[in-house]
Amino acid sequence: MVYNNAMGTVENFYGTHFPASELHAWTENATWRTPEAAVDVLTPTDYNVHVHTPKRDFELNVHYHQCAYPMRQTENFKPLVILDWQSYMPCAIVTGTMQVTGKVYEIGNGYEVRGYHDKNWGSWPTSKFNWIWSQYNEPAAGFAVTWGAYKVLGLETVGYLFLRFNGTRVKLGTLCFDPFKMDVLEYKTEPTTGYKYASKLSWSTHGGGWKVEGSLVAEPNQVAQNPGGKGLNLIVFEMLSQYTYKLYQNNKLVHESHGFGFNEWSDLVK
């Protein structure tokens, strides 16, 4: 998925479907390869990503340098939910090149480009609830926040938040028996399909002497509607948003951050 800020457009570049025999993965680290994409782990904090889709003239060659400790969460409530999520790069500096329809773009040449990478696998009943996901990081401060939430039918929002700050690792939210509050400040409707997404959000959670307050506003024309995979039963909106964060420790404000990040909002298929 490529956001063109100058044109105000979003474009998806889909690769080729390959048989499982074409996937080669390593058990020692996150290295894996297919004929059109690869991740090569160089050190515990550095790896290269290569993506090439010749059908659509898209190629990405970038280097990720990790600036905060990885995040991971597992849940096993068989047969309802089996989930394993890991963010190898919750906060990273990215350099390299991207070629889109014949034009080459330099990434991180004289300016900072923030990166993120995660992977999740397992199964959960997406026909019963939608998911909300948010990611923001600030490499210079070693600051990263990733949170997710679920609007379960008949229940309040179930949320969890992972925080990295100057080497500190904190996990807050419902999974830790902490209060988690999320408020939708504005909904928008996708005009061609009628599905809704939250274009303005605020949230907060606290526990163990830490408190996190955040908000986001989705950038106009930077919202992509992803139909999701087979059986997902969700329409997923993927957005570039403007974030504001305040971090407190023992009731003292210790960090404020503003900038762009990514988030997802899903709506159940009608």
Q: For the segment 5-23, what is each residue's pLDDT rounded down to a tens digit?
A: 666 666 666 667 888 899 9
Q: Which domain holds residue 212?
A: 125-270
Q: Please tell me whether residues 194 and 119 are part of one structural domain.
A: no
Q: Please tell me whether residues 158 and 265 are part of one structural domain.
A: yes
pTM: 0.88
Q: Please tell me whether residues 95 and 173 are part of one structural domain.
A: no
For residue 253, give the CATH number of its domain.
Answer: 2.40.370.10
Specify the pLDDT at position 17. 81
Neighbouring C-alpha atoms within 13 Å toward the C-beta of 29? 13
Q: Please tell me whether residues 169 and 241 are part of one structural domain.
A: yes
Least confident of 104-118, 150-164, 198-212, 239-253: 150-164
Residue 208 belongs to a domain: yes
Q: Please tell me whether residues 145 and 177 are part of one structural domain.
A: yes
The amino acid that residue 194 corresponds to is G
Residue 207 belongs to a domain: yes
Peptide bond before residue 79 is cis, with ω within 30 degrees of 0: yes
Mean pLDDT of 207-234: 81
Q: Please tell me whether residues 221 and 157 are part of one structural domain.
A: yes
The highest-confidence range among 20-24, 122-126, 231-235, 245-249, by mean pLDDT, is 245-249
Q: Please tell me whether residues 205 and 251 are part of one structural domain.
A: yes
The total number of structural domains in the chain stands at 2
Domain boundary among 93, 124, 155: 124
Q: Please tell me whether residues 36 and 94 are part of one structural domain.
A: yes
Mean pLDDT of 245-254: 98
What is the distance between the alpha carbons of residues 190 and 185, in angstroms, rounded to a whole number? 17
Report whether 64 contacts 41 (CB < 8 A): no
Report whether 165 contacts 141 (CB < 8 A): yes
